[in-house]
């Protein structure tokens, strides 16, 4: 009960710095820095990791899928396969930041002002005696936003029925926005459906596809000359199915006792990636003259020179930092002494920031398979401090 009483009277007084949402980040870089009483900082661990790990993962997956779509519309379609209601909502938000154009998740659209896009369900089609009646009823309900689902029974007959219904409603001002394929050989069927639509004069009617899509399948379908221009991506996106967890960590890197200087801390592991960095960490992003990314250097704000130093992760890989390099530090103030000092931009601006950052990377770093690695290193002072602590702890 004493601890609960303490929590009841607890006043948040921490400073929090973070990388703004939409900013491109890379492995080993700190996304969030919390400075304050240790009990307060520790209470934040679980919620911070839950939010950062999941949404960063989904935004990353979305950006890969959008890249594979090569300018086509990508609709986040995953609410029914997401990990619970809360997971579905945060996945929709993150997917939009990562580049998806819209969502089928109505609540997420309402909460975050994400554009909504959807189609018929198979159950709608099956609730009617025959397919054309189902299409006609849907067209009456959505005369300007109808996307007919044509493969409940047989896709090529379905597109013929869709065209007949669209023809019969032309005088009423009906516009067939698109048709959707949800099964079968998507490449072959989309080509055949496109031919039938074009022959009937529906050259502007889009073909949408769904059914267990991911960036690799989308890329392959494009190579097969599929005529799909809208991609509904669900399970593989909102669960990041090929890598369903991001291993971000929240560790103590320095501690300051009353009346004493900061004492750096390091966690050591035989696994390189689990050995932490000490100090009050910040990320400095160096830029080419055109604003594109050159390299990142992680440094300790307590001790840094950047004067002719090299940024390194190991002795074999070094890069010199020239005095004339442009740069920006990524972690910015969010809370000061427990008070919010940051204004969160609209989600559409966060999404735009993500797209702008991606465009600053060369295409060799944006390819889906075997991308060129972006250089992330340790500022020289931090490199040697980490080395000293490792040597000290190994004795």
Q: What is the pLDDT of residues 15-44, one digit of tens each?
A: 999 999 999 999 999 999 999 999 999 999
Mean pLDDT of 193-201: 98
* CA distance linking residue 123 with residue 134, whole number of Å: 10
pLDDT of residue 360: 95
Q: Which long-range contacts (CB under 8 A, 24 or more apart) does 140-144 make?
A: 143/169, 143/172, 143/173, 143/174, 143/175, 144/174, 144/175, 144/177
pLDDT of residue 321: 85
Rounded to the nearest integer, the mean pLDDT of the chain is: 94
Could you report the per-residue pLDDT of 101-128, keeping only the tens digit for each? Answer: 999 999 999 999 999 998 999 999 999 9
- Of the pLDDT bands very low, low, confident and very high (cuts 50, 70, 90), residue 4 is confident
Number of H helices, E strands in the chain: 14, 18
Predicted TM-score (pTM) of this structure: 0.93
Yes or no: say if 165 and 147 are a contact pair by the CB < 8 Å rule: no
- Backbone φ and ψ of 299, nearest 5°: -145, 165
Q: What are the start-end ranges of the H helices in 70-185?
A: 84-97, 106-112, 122-126, 131-141, 155-168
pLDDT of residue 217: 98
Confidence check: pLDDT of 394 > 80: no
Q: Which long-range contacts (CB under 8 A, 24 or more apart) does 305-308 make?
A: 305/380, 305/381, 306/379
Mean pLDDT of 149-158: 97
Yes or no: say if 100 and 72 are a contact pair by the CB < 8 Å rule: no
pLDDT of residue 395: 62
Yes or no: say if 35 and 280 are a contact pair by the CB < 8 Å rule: yes
Structural domains in the chain?
A: 2-32+258-394 (3.20.140.10), 58-238 (3.20.20.70)
* CA distance linking residue 350 with residue 336, whole number of Å: 22
The more confidently predicted of residues 163 and 28 is 163
pLDDT of residue 285: 96
* CA distance linking residue 158 with residue 143, whole number of Å: 19
Least confident of 95-104, 251-260, 377-386: 377-386
* Inter-helix orientation angle 84-97/45-69, to 10°: 50
Confidence check: pLDDT of 243 > 90: yes
């Amino acid at each position: 009960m004493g601890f609960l009483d303490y929590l009841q009277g607890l006043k948040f007084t921490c400073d929090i710095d973070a990388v703004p949402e939409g900013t491109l980040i890379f492995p080993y870089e700190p996304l969030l820095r919390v400075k304050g009483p240790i009990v307060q900082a520790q209470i934040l661990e679980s919620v911070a990791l839950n939010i950062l790990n999941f949404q960063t993962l989904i935004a990353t997956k979305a950006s890969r899928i959008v890249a594979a779509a090569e300018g086509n519309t990508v609709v986040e379609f995953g609410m029914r396969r997401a990990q619970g209601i809360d997971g579905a909502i945060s996945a929709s938000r993150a997917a939009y930041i990562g580049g998806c154009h819209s969502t089928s998740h109505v609540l997420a659209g309402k909460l975050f002002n994400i554009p909504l896009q959807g189609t018929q369900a198979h159950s709608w089609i099956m609730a009617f005696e025959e397919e054309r009646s189902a299409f006609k009823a849907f067209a009456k309900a959505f005369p300007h936003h109808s996307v007919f689902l044509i493969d409940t029974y047989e896709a090529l007959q379905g597109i013929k029925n869709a065209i007949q219904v669209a023809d019969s409603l032309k005088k009423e001002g009906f516009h067939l926005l698109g048709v959707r394929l949800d099964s079968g050989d998507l490449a072959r069927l989309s080509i055949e459906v496109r031919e039938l639509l074009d022959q009937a004069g529906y050259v502007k009617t889009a073909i949408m596809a769904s059914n267990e899509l991911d960036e690799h399948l989308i890329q392959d379908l494009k190579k097969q000359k599929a005529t799909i221009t809208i991609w509904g991506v669900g399970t593989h996106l909102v669960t990041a199915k090929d890598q369903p967890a991001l291993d971000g960590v929240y560790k103590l890197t320095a501690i300051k006792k009353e009346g004493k200087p900061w004492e750096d801390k390091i966690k050591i592991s035989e696994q390189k990636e689990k050995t932490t960095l000490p100090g009050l960490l910040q990320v400095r992003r160096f830029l080419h003259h055109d604003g594109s990314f050159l390299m990142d250097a992680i440094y300790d704000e307590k001790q840094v020179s950047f004067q002719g130093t090299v940024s390194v992760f190991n002795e074999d890989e070094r890069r010199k930092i020239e005095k004339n390099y442009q740069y920006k530090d990524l972690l910015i103030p969010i809370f000061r002494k427990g008070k919010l000092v940051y204004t969160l931009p609209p989600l559409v601006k966060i999404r735009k920031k993500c797209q702008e950052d991606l465009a600053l990377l060369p295409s060799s770093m944006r390819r889906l398979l075997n991308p060129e690695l972006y250089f992330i290193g340790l500022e020289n002072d931090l490199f040697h401090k980490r080395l000293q602590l490792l040597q000290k702890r190994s004795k």
